[in-house]
Structure 1
Amino acid sequence: MRLPSLTRPGFLRPWLSLSLAALLLSGCAMAPTPAQYAQESPKLELRQYLNGPLLAHGIFTDRNGHVKRRFVVKLMGRWTGDTGILEEDFEYSDGSRERRVWTIQELGGGRYSGRADDVVGLARGEAAGNALRWSYTLKLPVDGKVYEVDFDDWMYLIDDKVMLNKAVMSKFGFELGQVTLSFQKL
């Protein structure tokens, strides 16, 4: 019995084409979109939920799942028309503090944009049903240096008081870690 030669012209081409097509299709099928949550309730109305005082508790885990930082965030949101201001005051378990103030613009059709001093360019958001996805690049200070880190940030409204948030941090497409938060409307 004679086996086909791997060096024969064109032998691997069909297999490589099929493998590449399967890889591309599986990559497309795995990425969630806010539209997938359009029928979920309660519906996340950002102007309602991020209006007034909130309290959040969170952790940062490295890419191996080890908790590296714990923190509490006191938030205050105010809206005038389609523009919201969200003040975030972070207190970390090591006693350090950080403040971020977002200006959020509702663009219609479930789309949002946002700016903050430590955000590079414009944050983009899309909401549907009980979910909101934010995409942005954050200037992150680490050991005296500042790194620009990409955030893929998902928020899910659980009920009128609680929202859960999971963000994946990456650089050059490589995951650095995740941030997990639980928000409570006060």
Structure 2
Amino acid sequence: MKRRLLLAAATGSALLLGGCASQNIDQYRTEKPELDLQQYFNGTLDAYGVFTDRSGAVVKRFTVVMNCSWQGNEGVLDEDFTYSDGTTQKRVWRLTKLPDGKYTGTAGDVIGTAQGQARGNAFYWTYTLSLPVDGSVYEVRFDDWMYLMTDKVMLNKATMSKFGVKLGEVTLSFTKR
């Protein structure tokens, strides 16, 4: 009896963990059009996005104007956000291209260094952001997926979490001018 309970518990745990499996960047390696971050994030881009809470309700809408440039393997993404409530925000990313499609990045409100990798038409990017909310600042993890749709359009979906608990999602559409 004890043995059956252990077997059932092990099987149940394996099923639960399998259900939590996440996507892997390598599954996109043959997808087209191929994403070249240095090419796509070069010049001026416009982005339109929403932040949704855990229930899926839209909490904030925003637009972003990005001015991007590269010198060799070093890139600057200068982002100007305008939110639906009239507030604004600026973030300047400094990216470094590494071998094998890997990238690192820093920004003033990012804790430590962001890590990312491109494969095929996709880019996966993870980082911890200092997020001000109602007079307090929270450190939240972003798991950020970008998918190049055409040479001008990229879609972005990021999950925000704290202590492994999902707080919400950010969905963006980038358009290259």
Identify whether the pair has TM-score above 0.5, normalized to the shorter chain.
yes
The SS at the match of 1:41 is coil
Is 1:22 aligned to 2:15, yes or no? yes
Matched AA of 2:7: P
The unaligned stretches of length 5 or more in structure 1 are: 1-7
Determine what percentage of the aligned residue pairs are the same residue.
Answer: 54
Of 56, 65, 81, which residue of structure 2 is paired with 1:74? 65
Show the 5 A alignment for 1:30-179: 30-179=21-170
Shift of 1:141: 0.2
Q: Which amino acid aligns with 1:155?
A: M
Q: Aligned partners of 1:114 and 1:11: how far apart in 2?
A: 49
Cα 1:49/1:9, change in 2 over 3 Å: closer
Structure 2 residue 11 is the aligned partner of structure 1 residue 13: no
C-alpha distance in structure 1 between counterparts of 2:141 and 2:33, whole Å: 28
2 CA distance for matches of 1:32 and 1:166? Answer: 13
In the aligned structure 2, how far is the partner of 1:64 from the partner of 1:84?
36
- Match of 2:98, SS state, is strand
Deviation at 1:108, TM superposition (A): 1.4
Q: Which has the larger radius of gyration?
A: 1
Ranges in structure 2 where 5+ consecutive residues have no aligned partner: none
Q: Distance in 1 between matches of 2:46 and 2:4?
A: 61
| Alpha-carbon distance in 2 for matches of 1:9, 1:151 | 42
Amino acid at match of 1:73: V
Cα distance in 2 for residues equivalent to 1:9 and 1:163: 53
Distance, in Å, in 2 between the alignment partners of 1:85 and 1:10 is 58
C-alpha RMSD of the superposition:
1.0
Residue in structure 2 matched with residue 3 of structure 1 by the alignment: none
Residues 176 and 81 (structure 1 numbering): CA distance in 2 closer, same or farther, change over 3 Å? same
User: Once the two structures are superposed, what CA deviation does each residue of 1:128-183 show, in whole Å capped at 9, x if it has no partner?
Assistant: 00000000000000001100000000000000000000000000001000000000
The number of residue pairs the alignment matches comes to 177
Distance 1:80 1:93 in 2: 34
- Take 1:161 and 1:97, find their aligned partners in 2: how far apart are those partners? 25
Residue identity opposite 2:164 in structure 1: G
